[in-house]
Amino acid sequence: MTQLVTRIDDSLAESMDELIAQGAASSRSELVRMGLERLIDERRRLAIGLQIVDAYIETPQTDLENSELDAATRALILEEPW
C-alpha cells in the first residue's frame, strides 16, 4: 500500500476531526481515502456521462424511437395507482 504525506491547513484538520467525532470515519486517513474515492468516482461518472451525450449527438434518437418512448412513458404513468 502506498503512503502519502501531505500538509493541510488547521481549519481543514479541525473540520476533519469534527467529522470523525460525528462518526463519519474512524481516522483522518480514512476520511482522505473516502474523499479521494468519491472524487475519482465523480470524475469517472462525469466522463461516462459526457461519452453518453457525445454518442447521442453523434447518433440522435429518431422520431419513431421518441414516439415509442413517449408511449411507453404514458403507459407506465397510467399503471401508477395515483
Domain ranges of the chain: 10-79
Q: How confident is the model at residue 22 (pLDDT cuts 50, 70, 90)?
A: very high
Q: How confident is the model at residue 82 (pLDDT cuts 50, 70, 90)?
A: confident
Q: pTM for the whole thing?
A: 0.71
Task: Kindly state the cell numbers that stand for 9.
Answer: 491547513
User: What confidence tens digit (pLDDT) does each residue in 35-73 have?
Assistant: 999 999 999 999 999 999 999 999 999 999 999 999 999
CA distance 59 to 53: 10
CA distance 71 to 32: 47
